[in-house]
Structure 1
Amino acid sequence: MTGKTYFITGGNRGIGYQLTSQLSSDPSNTLLVAIRDIKTPSVQLSQLVKEKSNIKLVQLELTSQKDIDSIPAQITEILGQDAVIDVFLANAGIDSRTGPTLTATDASKWESLYKINSLAPILTFQKLYPFLQKSKTKQAIFTSSLLGSIAGYIPFHTSSYGQSKAALNYSVKALSEELKDQGFVILSIHPGLVATDMTKNLSSDLFAFPMISDVKAAEKQVALFKKLDSGFNGKFWDVDSDKEYVF
């Protein structure tokens, strides 16, 4: 996976930052890292950008259609008219703090979760699609969650969060079918129960696997990227356990 150009969302912290850090350690890689406000990157990302010349920041507030529409122009400005994106890592997302129940979830919660977790990754992919088409790699990896599985439903209140990830999974599956004849490899991944700001209030005893660090989660994802081929297209992959999961 050396010499690839990656477009990563959510690179400010957590898994997204660790992916940025680990992938940028190979100087032949180029990383376009999308964050909410390009003027105020996190302290750790700002320091990493100073240390690594192969990291370029992209302005992308996922709730802003203007920012999404500006992606092609930003890529061209950074990489030039012949810009190619090899791998899209749709990492950014938000949670609902696992509650309340569906009988008490208000409309604003539904709207924010669906807009960021379900729609934004696909709308971003639409803008990246022409750049991915020019690549020999053509990979798009969407971070989902086992909590978005219907067939493997976990009886744990996630309200609109689980539904937003199920909706994302549907779109990923549909994209994988639409673009398989063009040589794309498109899949959903569950990174594991990762110790990040998003999961710090969760109890790991609700799940059949232990909590892992964001460093380890990123390491496992990078290992997965190295073996991706057409056989992974349309899969829902549990990265922590390194096995296919059911949608």
Structure 2
Amino acid sequence: MSSNKVFVITGGNRGIGLGLTQKLLQRPNTTVIASVRNSEAATSLRAETQSTTVGENSNLHIIELDFSSAIAPEKIRQIFDESTIEVTHVDVLICNAAVVVPLTPALSITAEDLRTSFEVNAIAPLLLFQALWPYLQKSSAPQYVAVSSSVGSIAAQEPFPGGSYGASKAALNWLTKAIHMQHESDGLIAYSLHPGWVQTRAGHYSAKQWDYPGDPPMTVEESVTGSLQVIDNATRETTSGKLFAYNGQVVPW
């Protein structure tokens, strides 16, 4: 594995996370470490990737991490250290796992929904970054990719309710910018990535919440293809410290 490019993807068993996992596995010399919430999700991921044509010297490893409540960085690191995976470094950390609760107007957002959204969408990515930072430091070009959303943009706030989901993604964006600014000397490439409005379970849920007629406009394939182009071409100078969309356009914070 030492010569492979190593990707860590959270929420790798469905939607965009699954699409990223499948697409990356097709590349040669690539190791994908996908986190899932439980054993049922792990079984699902194995089944979904069984027919994937795996590139030469590439492989998939699955780790169970339930981010619905905070996991201490030391515990996460211990799980990696004690796993059967020979992890020597991580090149790209993609924090994709997220939760979407009712997308209500601000007047109706509950404290419970805020806690749930912040726990999974903002706190978990930060703690995972803290846990895997020693591994990222061993990469020649480390990347921290926070899968966010235009719904979390303050400057270009969408014209429909974002509920606690939007607030949590705005917090994720702030933390990502802080990570970028505080790791310049390390050469870390840290940015948020808006994958588009995609035909996933969360995407369909949002469409129903907003009374949108029909399916979300983007397929998983379109989103993943564009997102990987952003990831593959990301540099400290051009990408880090920004919120990028899957099509390479910058979204205002």
TM-score using structure 2 length: 0.87
**Where does the alignment leave 5 or more consecutive residues of structure 2 unmatched?**
none
Q: How far apart, CA to CA, are the structure 2 residues paired with 1:40 and 1:32? A: 17
Q: How far apart, CA to CA, are the structure 1 residues paired with 2:77 and 2:163? A: 34
Q: How far apart, CA to CA, are the structure 2 residues paired with 1:66 and 1:226? A: 29
Shift of 1:42: 5.6
Q: 2:240 aligns with which of 230, 233, 238?
A: 233
Shift of 1:50: 4.9
Match of 1:95 in 2: 100
Q: 1:170 aligns with which of 160, 169, 174?
A: 174
Q: Does 1:135 align with 2:109?
A: no
Q: 2:84 aligns with which of 78, 81, 93?
A: 78
Shift of 1:48: 4.6
For residue 141 of structure 2, give the secondary structure of its aligned residue in structure 1.
coil
CA RMSD of aligned residues (A): 2.2
Q: How far apart, CA to CA, are the structure 1 residues paired with 2:132 and 2:72? A: 13
Q: How far apart, CA to CA, are the structure 1 residues paired with 2:134 and 2:174? A: 22
For residue 62 of structure 1, give the secondary structure of its aligned residue in structure 2.
coil
Match of 2:40 in 1: 40
Q: Does 1:9 align with 2:15?
A: no
Q: 1:161 aligns with which of 165, 169, 187?
A: 165
Matched letter for residue 233 of structure 1: S
Shift of 1:44: 4.6
Percent identity between matched residues is: 29
**Where does the alignment leave 5 or more consecutive residues of structure 1 unmatched?**
none
For residue 78 of structure 2, give the secondary structure of its aligned residue in structure 1.
helix
Q: 2:120 aligns with which of 100, 116, 126?
A: 116
Match of 1:194 in 2: 198
Q: Contact 1:13–1:42 (CA<8 Å) still a contact in 2?
A: no
For residue 41 of structure 1, give the secondary structure of its aligned residue in structure 2.
helix
Shift of 1:191: 0.5
For residue 203 of structure 2, give the secondary structure of its aligned residue in structure 1.
coil
